[in-house]
Amino acid sequence: MSESKLKPILPAANPPAWLGVMGGGQLGRMFAQAAQAMGYQVAVLEPSQDCPAGQVAQRLVNADYSDAAGLDALAAQCAAVTTEFENVPADSLSRLAQTVFVAPDGHGVSVAQDRVAEKRFFVSCAPKSGVLPAPHKVIAAQEDIDAISDDLLPGILKTVRMGYDGKGQVRVKSRADVQAAFESMGKVTCLLEKMLPLAYEVSVLTARGHDGESVVYPIAENVHRDGILFTTTVPGPNVSEESALKAQKAAQAIVAELGYVGVLCIEFFVLTDGSLVVNEMAPRPHNSGHYTIDACVTSQFEQQVRAMARLPLGDVRQHSAAVMLNILGDVWFEGDRDDAREPAWHEILALPGANLHLYGKDDPRRARKMGHLTFIAPTLEQAQQQLNAACAVLGIAA
């Protein structure tokens, strides 16, 4: 790519600059809204005709993620392209990169798509990042199961690819459990990770520009239920200053080693002895970073726009304490009833500091992410009080 193409992509009034996004989900929707607020036009490539991002983008390229004609149409329209989910084919990003600036690139995404590659990458980063992943072993055949050492159990068996929101994961206590889980997963290549004494999980949201500059947001503390993110609290109430600094430095070392451009979220485990373990990364804006829309100077979605448009990265300061609640389709249903009814949003919005974000999905289903709520307040205690009140309205156990 020539030097002229590495200049900033400015949102010129006539004609306006176009930015592209692979994927039409809620992350693509919020990216599009941030880009449009900055004056860009947005094109989305997505195989589904009715999708959250397609509802707000100026153009929807209705094609499969590997469709050559669709990819070429996106590249012809846009000055830069990004992705809103990690399972977009890395080869598609590489094809786009032949003619248009792509951030993140296919390499960074491919590492995050494969748990084995990701673990090897984390291990290679350890001299600079100062953190390691949990002890682990690749399980691809019966002999791998037979060779499992006792100190790896109990553990979690995870499929190497396509796992998210707790999917493709089974807790195992014995080799017999591993055997059964491996067979239930169709004997695809898996990764066995040792279960560690977890105190809590944190996610570190970082962004890196094409010039190598990077920024890192405040540490977010996460709580999961049934494998799905339930709440994110920032600043993390249990996070010590020492742990926060170590996690932030590790994230910046990892993003630099990857040569990454864009927003990257890295999840860490803080163990009961205070030590830090790197878990996984997502090459895109992240569910745990949604609080940045309402609580930070620059949201994670604006940051992604800035990185791909080769603009200066934004200010990551947090101006308000924040607690984010994922809204799942469950809240449309009372008890075991199958008839959906609209939640009492008017009662939610009467609560101080409430910020409601719905994703434009008209088919509420249990465990489906339909939106999120962020409560901001001068203190974390006040934000948490309002979130607890919202949970009571929605019928969720806080």
pLDDT surpassing 60 at residue 4: no
Q: Which 3 state secondary structure label does DSSP give 54?
A: coil
pLDDT surpassing 50 at residue 35: yes
d(CA 117, CA 276): 20
Question: Does the annotation flag 158 for ligand binding?
Answer: yes
- pLDDT score of 165: 58
Confidence of residue 1 (pLDDT cuts 50, 70, 90): very low
Burial letters for 66-81: b for 16+ Cβ neighbours within 10 Å, e otherwise? ebeebbebbbebbbbb
Confidence of residue 161 (pLDDT cuts 50, 70, 90): confident
Read off φ and ψ for residue 113, nearest 5 degrees.
-75, -20
Question: Does the annotation flag 280 for ligand binding?
Answer: yes
Question: Does the annotation flag 224 for ligand binding?
Answer: yes
Domains of the chain: 3-102 (3.40.50.20), 135-194 (3.30.1490.20), 198-394 (3.30.470.20)
- pLDDT score of 336: 81
Question: Does the annotation flag 25 for ligand binding?
Answer: no
Of the candidates 99, 53, 285, the one whose C-alpha atom is nearest the C-alpha of residue 62 is: 53
Question: pLDDT tens digit string along 325-344?
Answer: 999 999 999 888 888 899 99
Question: Does the annotation flag 196 for ligand binding?
Answer: yes
pLDDT (mean) for 269-279: 96
Q: Which residues, in sequence order, are CB contacts of 120 under 8 Å at separation 6+?
A: none
Question: Does the annotation flag 166 for ligand binding?
Answer: yes
pLDDT surpassing 70 at residue 121: yes
Question: Does the annotation flag 347 for ligand binding?
Answer: no
Of the candidates 8, 269, 311, 286, the one whose C-alpha atom is nearest the C-alpha of residue 136 is: 269
Question: Does the annotation flag 195 for ligand binding?
Answer: yes
pLDDT surpassing 80 at residue 290: yes
Question: Does the annotation flag 169 for ligand binding?
Answer: yes
CB 219 within 8 A of CB 234: yes
pLDDT surpassing 80 at residue 166: no
pLDDT (mean) for 155-182: 86
d(CA 386, CA 321): 12
d(CA 306, CA 302): 6
Mean residue pLDDT across the chain: 95
- Rounded to a whole number of angstroms, the distance between the first and last alpha carbons of the chain is 51
d(CA 165, CA 222): 13
Confidence of residue 5 (pLDDT cuts 50, 70, 90): low
Question: Does the annotation flag 248 for ligand binding?
Answer: no
pLDDT (mean) for 84-98: 94
- pLDDT score of 2: 42
Residues linked to residue 41 through DSSP beta bridges, in sequence order: 18
CB 301 within 8 A of CB 284: no
Question: Does the annotation flag 193 for ligand binding?
Answer: yes
Question: Does the annotation flag 93 for ligand binding?
Answer: no
